[in-house]
Amino acid sequence: MTATAALTAGTLTLAAPASLSWATTLNGNNQSLVDTTAADQQYTVNDATGSGTGWHVTTSATTFTNGTFTLPNAGTFVTNGSTSSISSTNAPTATCSGTCTLPTNSITYPVAITTAAASPTPVTIYNAAAASGLGEVVIGGSTAANPVGWWVNIPASASAGSYTSTITMAIISGP
């Protein structure tokens, strides 16, 4: 008797926060703000490819602008595994949603994401080495030991207004 099992590769997907937000009252000092919305403190990677090649998550962002004024491109946008300290070197906690192989992440935190007016350069913010990160993995989470911290640095010289940026996250095969 011969038995055959045909397995078709699935997909590699990323479920990212729908939006990020920060708010403060200007006080004449430099300020570091974290997004406090619980739903924004995680993203989910699902590697159903069966390839074991690993993956990496990238993020890029356009310049934060309110139409008239802009925030500096360098040093404004940062991510790490903390919602209490912008300088935390913790990686966001990874947990399995169902059955998975936890990712072996080699990124050094915090990660600075330099913004640009056009064509901002993507920066790797989390990765999974080969043979890791298989299945559905939740990165961060508001109740995790290390939630995803999305930080914006506001200089003392910032003008009042509502600043916007287009933030793009992507999942790419390979560590």
Query: Of the candidates 118, 117, 35, 43, which has an alpha carbon nearest to the alpha carbon of residue 78?
Result: 35
Whether 146 shows a pLDDT value over 90: the answer reads yes
What is the model's pLDDT at position 6?
A: 62
pLDDT in tens, 153-166: 999 999 999 999 99
Q: 157, 28 in Cβ contact below 8 A?
A: no
What is the CB-side half-sphere exposure of residue 116 using CA atoms within 13 A? Answer: 10
pLDDT-derived band of residue 89, with 50, 70 and 90 as boundaries?
A: very high
The position carrying tokens 């207004």 is 161
Q: Which amino acid is at 16?
A: A
Amino acid at 153: N
> CA 163 to CA 152: how far, in whole Å?
11
Please name the amino acid found at residue 127: N
Q: What is the mean pLDDT of the chain?
A: 95
Question: What average pLDDT score do residues 1-20 get?
Answer: 83
Backbone phi and psi for residue 40, each to the nearest 5 degrees, phi listed first: -85, -10
| pTM reported for the whole predicted model | 0.93
d(CA 36, CA 38): 6
Mean per-residue pLDDT for 76-88? 97
